[in-house]
């Protein structure tokens, strides 16, 4: 490991540069990703380094962008699509859900769609209801799609390179607030891969198992540091890939803690975290629970524009601390 801290934007750009260098069939397409460097600056200087054939600015047409990528992938290319805001995938859902996800199955495995769709996700930037959603649950419900949610620069680089290697479509959800944050882990130079479908135990504790995704991983870590002072020790598990979902670390942790809390930014109703709960209560791990499962998620409302309301609509560090205290204190 080299001693270098990167932001998530830098780590993602480094992963794409490696892929462009390693594979001539890789190219990037999306709105404003060329000279402008991307709406959130993720593609940066890749246009100048690799040229307009490899880093392609597109018209404002998500359906056309994804449709082009599906066709290119079927023809032997490995496109990386950037969608400026994950909300805009709604404009291309037929291409994503009915074409990219299903073609491999519809032709009996005779064709592959090696496509990565990167999408800026989540709230916190004052972008309001149509630019701030967390839609990972939509895609996790579609057979044929893998869904990845990186929580740090180190994870983002390794997961993106693994996603680009994958022979079929991967939805890569990147939280906007994480783009400019430098991670606490060193990000090695060169290529490394983090396998898709493998959960990570971020930290271990004896009192409560917490499963969190995306930006909630760093918020749970911040909460855990405060709870440590009170003698409450959390185990934190980051699924990294929510489809396919690796539950083994969760089951193993519950044997030690007997308590489970799940945390996500997306609205609670119909959210991905409910799948974690369902798998636990229909498994042998149910017998290890000594407390009801706790859920902490976004409100079932569109993300507000007003900063104080936007913040109130999704879990914050104080909310996590309060809920964890309740679970442990009420079920000692």
What are the tens digits of pLDDT across the range 143-195?
A: 999 999 999 999 999 999 999 999 999 999 999 999 999 888 899 999 999 99
**pLDDT reported for residue 272:** 93
User: What gap in Å lies between CA 128 and CA 319, rounded to an integer?
Assistant: 21
Structure tokens at 63: 């359906």
Q: What is residue 7's DSSP assignment? A: B
Per-residue pLDDT at 279: 97
Tokens describing residue 264: 């996500």
Is the pLDDT at 55 greater than 70, yes or no? yes
Q: Residue 22 catalytic? A: no
| CA–CA gap between residue 32 and residue 41 (Å, rounded) | 10
What does pTM read for this prediction? 0.95
For the chain, where are the alpha helices, taking DSSP H only? 8-22, 46-50, 62-74, 93, 103-106, 136-140, 153-165, 215-228, 248-257, 273-281, 307-312, 317-330
Q: Which CATH number fits domain 8-178: 3.20.20.10, 3.40.190.290, 3.40.50.970, 3.30.420.40?
A: 3.40.50.970
Helix (H) or strand (E) holding 159: helix 153-165
Say what the pLDDT of residue 1 is: 45
| Mean pLDDT to the nearest integer, 133-151 | 97
The tokens describing 88, both together, are: 């805009």
Query: Active site residue: 14, 131, 174, 275, which one?
Result: 131
**Domain 200-330 architecture:** 3-Layer(aba) Sandwich (3.40)
- pLDDT band at residue 298 using 50, 70 and 90 as cut-offs: very high
Q: Is the pLDDT of residue 79 over 60?
A: yes
CA distance 264 to 310: 15
Write the DSSP symbol of residue 314.
S
CB 161 within 8 A of CB 193: yes
| Residue 3 pLDDT level (bands cut at 50, 70, 90) | confident
Averaged pLDDT for residues 6-11: 96
| Segments of the chain assigned to CATH 3.40.50.920 | 200-330
Residue 72 has pLDDT above 70, yes or no: yes
Let me know: does 212 contact 222? Beta carbons within 8 Å.
no
Residue 252 annotated to the active site: no
**Cβ 74 vs Cβ 113: under 8 Å:** yes
CA distance 328 to 86: 36
State pLDDT tens for residues 231-262. Answer: 999 999 999 999 999 999 999 999 999 999 99
> Which of 10, 14, 31, 62 is the catalytic position?
62
Q: Which of 311, 328, 331 is nearest to 227 (CA)?
A: 328
Question: Average pLDDT of the chain?
Answer: 95
Percentage of the chain surpassing pLDDT 90?
96
Specify the domain boundaries for CATH 3.40.50.970 within the chain: 8-178
pLDDT value of position 332: 64
207, 162 Cβ separation under 8 angstroms: no
């Amino acid at each position: 490991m080299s001693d270098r801290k990167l932001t998530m934007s830098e780590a993602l750009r480094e992963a794409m540069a490696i892929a462009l260098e390693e594979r001539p069939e890789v190219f990037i397409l999306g709105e404003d990703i060329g000279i402008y460097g991307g709406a959130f600056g993720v593609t940066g200087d890749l246009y100048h380094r690799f040229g307009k054939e490899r880093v392609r600015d597109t018209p404002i047409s998500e359906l056309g962008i994804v449709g082009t990528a599906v066709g290119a992938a079927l023809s032997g290319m490995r496109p990386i699509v950037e969608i400026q805001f994950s909300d805009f995938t709604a404009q291309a859902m037929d291409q994503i859900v009915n074409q990219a996800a299903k073609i491999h199955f519809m032709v009996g495995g005779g064709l592959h769609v090696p496509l990565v769709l990167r999408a800026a996700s989540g709230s916190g930037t004052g972008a309001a209801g149509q630019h701030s959603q967390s839609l990972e649950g939509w895609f996790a419900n579609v057979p044929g799609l893998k869904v990845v949610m990186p929580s740090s620069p180190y994870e983002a680089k390794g997961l993106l390179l693994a996603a680009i290697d994958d022979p079929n479509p991967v939805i890569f959800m990147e939280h906007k607030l994480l783009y400019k944050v430098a991670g606490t882990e060193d990000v090695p130079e060169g290529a490394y891969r983090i396998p898709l479908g493998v959960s990570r135990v971020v930290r271990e504790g004896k009192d409560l198992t917490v499963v969190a995704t995306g930006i909630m991983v760093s918020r749970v870590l911040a909460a855990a540091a405060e709870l440590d002072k009170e003698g409450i020790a959390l185990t934190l598990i980051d699924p990294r890939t929510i489809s396919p979902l690796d539950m083994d670390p969760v089951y193993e942790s519950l044997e030690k803690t007997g308590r489970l809390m799940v945390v996500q930014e997306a609205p609670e109703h119909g959210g991905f975290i409910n799948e974690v709960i369902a798998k636990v209560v229909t498994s042998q791990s149910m017998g290890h629970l000594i407390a009801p499962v706790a859920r902490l998620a976004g409100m079932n409302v569109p993300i507000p524009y007003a900063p104080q309301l936007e913040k109130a609509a999704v879990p914050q560090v104080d909310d996590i601390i309060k809920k964890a205290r309740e679970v442990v204190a009420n079920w000692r």
